[in-house]
Amino acid sequence: MNDQSSRADVQTTLPLKIVIVGHVDHGKSTLIGRLFHDTGSLPDGKLEAIQAMSERRGMPFEWAFLMDALQAERDQGITIDVSHIHFRTNAREYVLIDAPGHREFVKNMITGAAQADAAVLVVDAREGMQEQTRRHAYLLHLLGIRQVVVAINKMDLVDYNEARFQQVSAEVRDYLAGLGIDLRHTLLIPVSARDGDNIVSLGKTMPWYDGETLAQSLDGLQPPVPSLDLPLRLPVQDVYKFDDRRIIAGRIESGHLRQGDILLFSPSNKRARIQSIEAWPTRGQVLACRAGQSIGVTLDEQIFVERGEIASLDTNPPMLTNVFRGRIFWLGHQPLMAGRRYKMKLCTAQYPVDVEKIEKVIDVNDLGTVAADRVERNAIAEVIFRTRAQIPLDPFDHNGITGRFVIVDEFDIVGGGLINMDGYADQRLSQRIKSTNIFRVEHRVPIEERWQQNGHRGGVLWMTGLSGSGKSTLAFSLEQYLFRKGYQVYVLDGDNVRHGLCSDLGFSPEDRVENIRRVGHAAILFARAGFLCITAFISPYRADRERVRALAPELFHEVFIDADLKTCEERDPKGLYAKARRGEIDDFTGISAPYEAPVNAEVRLDTSHQTVEASLAELSDYVMRQFAITAH
């Protein structure tokens, strides 16, 4: 079977998973029960059994009882758990997921929605969009569900009034448009689930509506993009040893692989070729496997690989990073707070993560954002997470499997979210060595003799801070002052390296990383030559500055030019901050791109409240203490 035909089989044989969401008591379970009845999908005797149960308990019959299987749900009239049930139309097979609407069971709703390919949002025609309706709609957006059918239910309670339908529809459309959902593929259907109007066939109660029924709209939904078309991602579940074979086992989450492919394991960056593929219950040799299959592979080299690593093809690996932005939904009883450490589960791996910053909390009612120092239960927020070591991941819009994570506190799941790398770079890029026939050359002049000759030690004063903080002003002032005192000193700043050494680089996150990598190596060369090299760069990423420090820790001195954003904007002669706020400049650090302030800089200068002269005096005093050997 070739790849093309196998992909077609996947699309036609897998059922479409639809989650039904909405505010409590807006009629989700009733709608599903009616849909199953009217399509003839109920098992024999199911309807009669529910009717008999209702009579025994002295309760009126409810279509919702067909789905609400738990005794507690029948007693309280709400859906607590997530129910999955198969049914089919003439067009295709479906799995309908009935998710709870009550605020207390949002975690169960997310569990159901996370598995879905599309959604039906149920809205009561009388009540319109409620807070929980908006929260569910936002969660659909957060989980990456872009196909939404809106059922305006209980039209019988508003006398099948067209004007009321149009009013609620406008309210729904405005909210979904604010989320960025493409309304061209969003249907709004007036229905009465209790009476079956417009569920499978058009009812006579709403002659003003001649659009699709709910069942027809489901048949028109598109199947999900096959994960076969995405890059290979094989999270390692475990490593087994049979005889003399080490079998690396896991489930292929996306893409496909063949015997002979070269696998790259992240984050260890080890490579090996697939020697054989083991698949169960298949017997004999397997030459190729695809997404959705659980397999094992043996390699042509005995490399050490652990659970949690992600195998990919060497040509298209996941990103490596120790910092990322997560858009999360918080479920914990205790608020999420900056500075706390949690456990993050990503595929088969677990990592300790620190909450570095809460960027904003999102108001699901009006989609506005507010600054906050904590995220309360059932709130949605954008948060910066940092890990000690680099981890492999993908932005959610690149791969919905390796771009989704769960947060655990102790043994409880307290949140989940999607990975967004806007403004952050793939740190793998800075680790690639393109040449292998390179050898270090040892100089015959000891570095200490250079220092004695110059009368001062060599080193790097790495100035970092926002644009407009005063880095270049201080750097060139210090250079002039030290030169007059007899120092071998030179400034590297953004302008002089962008005209030469880094003239081929732009301002994307990856180019920023490469820019600092080059400057860092050049600065260390200056320092080893006996110079005091002063750099003046925003250098927004902490990891990049730490990589430069690691080149020669004894020579590196970080100087944080600490000016707040307001001060920097006031000093901005080119109006760059104003242009960034108007969207005329992309990736401007401090506004559209992140700046990660130093944690343990050797020097911190508060240029928001300190004059240039005072800052220069403090900096020159530090140089005299750290670098001077003889008086000049």
pLDDT at 520: 94
Whether pLDDT at 433 is above 50: no
**Residue 477 belongs to domain spanning:** 438-627
Secondary structure class of 19 (helix, strand, coil):
strand
Residues 425 and 527 grouped into a single domain? no
For 363-388, b/e burial (b = at least 16 CB within 10 A) is: ebeeeeeeebebbebbbbbbbbbbbe
For 487-525, b/e burial (b = at least 16 CB within 10 A) is: bbbbbbbbeebeeeebeebeeebbbbbbbbbebbebbbe
Whether pLDDT at 589 is above 70: yes
pLDDT at 422: 84
Residues 361 and 478 grouped into a single domain? no
595-600: average pLDDT: 90
**Residue 189 domain flag:** yes
**Residue 632 domain flag:** no
Residues 346 and 443 grouped into a single domain? no
Per the model's pLDDT, the better-predicted residue between 574 and 525 turns out to be 525
Residues 451 and 493 grouped into a single domain? yes
Please name which of 175, 168, 82 lies closest in space to residue 124, comparing C-alpha atoms: 168
pLDDT at 276: 92
Q: Tell me how far CA of residue 532 lies from CA of 77, 441, 489, 511, 555, in angstroms.
A: 75, 22, 5, 26, 9
pLDDT at 227: 76
pLDDT tens-digit readout, 260-285: 999 999 999 999 999 999 877 666 67
290-300: average pLDDT: 90
Contact call for residues 84 and 96 (beta carbons, < 8 A): yes
* CATH code for the domain in which residue 47 is found: 3.40.50.300
pLDDT at 105: 45
pLDDT tens-digit readout, 322-359: 999 998 888 888 999 999 999 999 999 999 999 999 99
Confidence of residue 37 (pLDDT cuts 50, 70, 90): confident
pLDDT at 471: 93
Cis peptide bond prior to 43, omega within 30° of 0: no
Residues 468 and 488 grouped into a single domain? yes
pLDDT at 72: 39
Contact call for residues 318 and 394 (beta carbons, < 8 A): yes
Number of domains in the chain: 4
What would the DSSP string read from start to end of 266-326? ETTTEEEEEEEEEESS--S-B-EEETT-EEEEEESS-----TT-EEEETTSPPEEEEEEEE
**Residue 342 domain flag:** yes
12-40: average pLDDT: 79
**Residue 306 domain flag:** yes
Q: Report the percentage of the chain scoring pLDDT > 90.
A: 42
Q: Which residue has the tokens 């709910």?
A: 214
* CATH code for the domain in which residue 359 is found: 2.40.30.10
Whether pLDDT at 531 is above 80: yes
Residues 281 and 405 grouped into a single domain? no
Residues 232 and 189 grouped into a single domain? no
Whether pLDDT at 516 is above 80: yes
pLDDT at 111: 58
pLDDT tens-digit readout, 150-175: 999 999 999 999 999 999 999 999 98
Please name which of 336, 292, 319, 616 lies closest in space to residue 482, comparing C-alpha atoms: 616
**Residue 124 domain flag:** yes
476 phi-psi bin (left φ>0, alpha ψ -120 to 50, beta other):
alpha
Please name which of 272, 296, 299 lies closest in space to residue 286, comparing C-alpha atoms: 296
Which of 313, 339, 360 represents a domain boundary (last residue)? 313
pTM (predicted TM-score): 0.72
Contact call for residues 61 and 73 (beta carbons, < 8 A): no
For 106-121, b/e burial (b = at least 16 CB within 10 A) is: bbbbbbbbbebbbbbb
pLDDT at 9: 40
First to last CA, the chain: 81
pLDDT at 605: 95
pLDDT tens-digit readout, 170-206: 999 998 888 877 777 688 999 998 888 998 888 889 9
Residues 95 and 209 grouped into a single domain? yes
Please state the separation of Cα 262 from the chain's center in Å.
Answer: 27
Contact call for residues 326 and 420 (beta carbons, < 8 A): yes
Cis peptide bond prior to 317, omega within 30° of 0: no
Q: What is the mean pLDDT of the chain?
A: 83
What one-letter code names the amino acid at 336?
L
Tokens encoding 631: 């008086």
Residues 115 and 51 grouped into a single domain? yes
Residues 48 and 174 grouped into a single domain? yes
450-462: average pLDDT: 93
Confidence of residue 226 (pLDDT cuts 50, 70, 90): low
Which of 187, 219, 251 represents a domain boundary (last residue)? 219
pLDDT at 100: 54
pLDDT at 324: 93
Residues 139 and 177 grouped into a single domain? yes
Residues 285 and 339 grouped into a single domain? no
**Residue 59 domain flag:** yes
Which of 313, 331, 346 represents a domain boundary (last residue)? 313
**Residue 415 domain flag:** yes
d(CA 308, CA 302): 18
